[in-house]
Chain A
């Protein structure tokens, strides 16, 4: 097969890779992108998007179940709601299909050539791709590695028929009667909550002392409370040991050190994700590492000239929007512009019930800077719109420097607060002071009003509390 040459070669068409390729194409850079699966990566095919689709389906179903049980506060009734899980999965797959073909179209429109297959480095400028029709060699001036990450597998619980990863969980067409989730991070809780709403009996096993251990405790309390309401059993301080000998239960060591059997039809293991660093010839490049990750500088350059790395491969936070921003930046660098990573905040959202958002520094992180800080928070129980949505749990919290009132961090927990991440990120990226937030008119009645109120609280004069 004839060798291909290009200016920019992107390996992996996840959110980082495809954005990088599209932007490069827009800038007139001769670009090839290689992807073994459908474009869109983890995010579009087995992560963000499909999980949100299933969460939405589960939420809608749960509302009807609640109404059927006579639990609707405003008198909604329903009878015997049924969810056809296979249909829901098909609906989800339809969305994924639309988005992946949309990405393929965007790449094409930007003039990017897509090569389907598994890429492997021969050297820092040359890649071999195993395509259906044979080995395709591609030579490039610059290479962007965007191979992403995969779910971490526990040696004692290898993925298989009964033990599934988040990817497997999104493909279930039959509802597991008993689902055990190992790991109460955001992926496990999002999916565990969805399955609980769909009707599974869900047990969550977490080795740390509380759910969402990487988030600050105040934010996770409303989530823990809601899990209890949904009948999700949460076992904290408990360690997953092994599958029972008959394979029908998970053996755990509970907080007291006792061994316990948790019968399970499916075991969802969500104990984190690891960068995908094998299978594409990293050993040929001998790139510097940063722990498990590839070491990069503020231009996403690796230790090898002309080789960039973006996305989950390059470290925490492993979030699609970080990868996209990195991809866009690298494309512009390759096109000859001066760019550098100078983002002030990468918002993080947890689509649990209620949702959790964190942008910038947490109170503890802010204190750890050694500066004095001011915090102010405003509960949704004092917000009219939250009440009319029937969900007044949670709050918005603002953290600022005490000396110049520069906003350092904003967090929220509550129904639908994921959308508030936009306002939060903008405030920090623009260098807002709490007075700026407090002085911005927020529409009434919206949940967003809690944001300026939290700022006012930090200033000592919240109005509605």
Chain B
């Protein structure tokens, strides 16, 4: 057996480190070339690391959530090869056989004859570690989410005195959560369980649920958490909500969709309106590097599209909205959001936005307070469109009304500018022909 070390690959674009977000294998697993070994994450791109060759996983170099620098050993594979090659001797599974050889160099009357005259028979212990992979393979998926405080079949961990008290009290320790190390159940844990009253376990029907599942915040969720906290911590938000009468826009959209071609949602129109409103309020389309004290006002409008994926919130970017036509906007938006959802989005497609739109469609509610996508300075939230009675001076008429809830970095954008920006969008959307006027 020889050992093959797999290192954290260079994922490109000057990435120096990546976070391990998932192991697809464990020690003892037999893998084939190209099997996925692990998933690592940089910024928002997740990269799967494939096995370069067949082998048996001998060692994992990190735990999920750890950040590894490029080039750090990620995993060791035992690969069939030259027998007795030195590194294989150091493979961790042999740990338990080591002491016989170690530390006995000087005074090891006990072992020298075994090891010295004929080192060859020594590999004998090898068959012992070998069988490990098979039983290991049937490891059930981590069943932490079950109803009991520990995995099924796992014995509760408690000192004999605790076990005795539990038995005398008629408490099934398997139901008692342990707060000690490794989930050990203390006398206090047992007291707490008993104090919650008898019958909690026996009563049919509604039951108290006491288990708390610990979920490690790793990968995308950690990125989201950090990013949101950064935005809320450093950006003094102002929120501005305005209603927009989109009756005319909806008529137009209906007609365009009736013509066929790629289906248009309201977002391409909104993006178009934003591009035009940015012409009047260019500061809204900027990023603020508060540490350097520099605002970068962008000429191109790169619109981040907040997108719900299975893993969580991602923001793929529609680049150069100012240079795209309506259908092009619609198609590009569909493409980047789909890429984000199925995990194929590139780093390029997940970074570099200058202004973000967040829209929950039918779930949009009437008002929201969107969080700015740091280091941008503005975010436009789309609320739900609904037919509402509208006073036209003589009577109520039904109109399609949609609210926009927008957030601005008040350090950069004054209320007046924010209002100007949103009012401009409102005007454009309410009179959609203006969206397409060349000025």
- B-contacting residues of A (Cβ < 8 Å)? 216-218, 221-222, 225, 337-340, 342, 344, 363-364, 367-372, 374-379, 381-382, 387, 392-395, 397, 399, 401, 404-406, 429-431, 433, 435-436, 465
Contact = CB atoms under 8 A, between A and B. Distances in A.
B99 A431 contact: no
A443 B233 CA distance: 53
Contact of B128 (A363, A435, A465): A363
A364 B131 contact: yes
Nearest to A222: B110
B125 A429 contact: no
Contact of A217 (B99, B128, B170, B180): B128
A108 to B, nearest CB: 28
Interface in B269-307: none
A221 B111 contact: yes
Interface string B151-176: 00001011110011001101000000
Interface in B123-163: 124-125, 128-129, 131-132, 135-139, 155, 157-160, 163
Contact of B181 (A363, A382, A397, A435): A435
A387 B107 contact: yes
B113 interface: yes
A382 B103 contact: yes
Contact of A430 (B97, B103, B139, B159): B159
B102 interface: yes
Contacts of B163: 342
Contacts of B96: 218, 363, 375, 377, 397, 399
28 contacts: A218-B96, A218-B97, A221-B100, A222-B111, A225-B113, A225-B114, A338-B167, A338-B168, A339-B164, A363-B128, A367-B131, A368-B131, A368-B135, A370-B136, A370-B137, A372-B27, A376-B95, A377-B95, A379-B104, A382-B103, A394-B110, A395-B100, A404-B181, A429-B160, A431-B159, A433-B181, A433-B182, A465-B103
A377 B101 CA distance: 11
B252 to A, nearest CB: 60
Nearest to A404: B182
B38 to A, nearest CB: 16
Which 10 residue pairs of A and B lie closest in terms of their CB atoms, listed nearest first?
A393-B110, A404-B182, A377-B99, A375-B96, A431-B157, A382-B103, A379-B103, A370-B135, A367-B132, A395-B99
Contacts of A405: 182
A386 to B, nearest CB: 10
B184 interface: yes
A379 B102 contact: yes
Interface of B is mostly: loop
A314 B16 CA distance: 63
Nearest to B128: A364
B26 interface: yes
A218 B131 CA distance: 17
Contacts, number: 110
A381 B157 contact: no
Nearest to B169: A338
A415 to B, nearest CB: 11
A381 B108 contact: yes
Residue in A368, A369, A374, A375 whose Cβ sees the most chain B Cβ within 10 Å: A375
A102 to B, nearest CB: 27
A405 B98 CA distance: 20
A368 B168 CA distance: 33
Interface in B81-104: 95-100, 102-104
Contacts of A367: 129, 131-132, 135-136
Nearest to B108: A381
Given A379-B102, A387-B107, A369 B135 contact: yes
A340 B164 CA distance: 9
B134 to A, nearest CB: 9
Interface of B: 26-28, 95-100, 102-104, 106-111, 113-114, 124-125, 128-129, 131-132, 135-139, 155, 157-160, 163-164, 167-168, 170, 180-184
A377 B110 contact: no
A381 B97 contact: no
Contacts of A382: 103
A129 B369 CA distance: 89
Given A368-B135, A393-B110, 7 more contacts: A370-B137, A370-B138, A377-B98, A381-B110, A382-B103, A393-B109, A465-B102
Contacts of B99: 377-379, 395, 397
A381 B131 contact: no
Contacts of A387: 107
A97 B136 CA distance: 52
A465 B103 CA distance: 6
A381 B103 CA distance: 6
A401 B135 CA distance: 15
Contacts of A406: 157, 182
B113 to A, nearest CB: 7
A429 B159 CA distance: 6
A7 to B, nearest CB: 21
B184 A431 contact: yes
B162 to A, nearest CB: 9
B132 to A, nearest CB: 5
A111 B164 CA distance: 26
Contacts of A392: 107-110
A447 B248 CA distance: 90
Contacts of B107: 381, 387, 392
Contacts of A221: 100, 111, 114
Contacts of B184: 431
Contacts of A364: 128, 131
A436 B103 CA distance: 24
A433 B97 CA distance: 21
Contacts of A375: 95-96
A127 B91 CA distance: 61
Nearest to A435: B181
Nearest to B180: A431
Most buried by A among B159, B170, B180: B159
A364 B127 CA distance: 11
B389 to A, nearest CB: 62
Contacts of B125: 217-218
A389 B210 CA distance: 54
Contacts of A431: 157-159, 180, 182, 184
Contacts of A369: 135
B183 A404 contact: yes
Contacts of A436: 181
A406 B156 CA distance: 12
A371 B26 CA distance: 10
B108 to A, nearest CB: 5
B155 to A, nearest CB: 8
Given A221-B100, A368-B135, A372-B136, A379 B183 contact: no
Contacts of B28: 372
A225 B135 CA distance: 33
Contact of B170 (A338, A379, A397, A399): A338
Contacts of B102: 379, 465
B163 to A, nearest CB: 5
A339 B103 contact: no
Contacts of A368: 131, 135
From B96, B97, B138, B167, name the one whose CB has the most chain A CB atoms within 10 angstroms.
B96
Contacts of B128: 216-217, 363-364
B139 to A, nearest CB: 5
A395 B109 CA distance: 13
A399 B97 CA distance: 12
Contacts of A218: 96-97, 100, 125
Contacts of A225: 110-111, 113-114
A363 B94 CA distance: 11
Contacts of B124: 217
B28 to A, nearest CB: 8
Contacts of A340: 167
A274 to B, nearest CB: 30
Nearest to A374: B95
A339 B100 contact: no
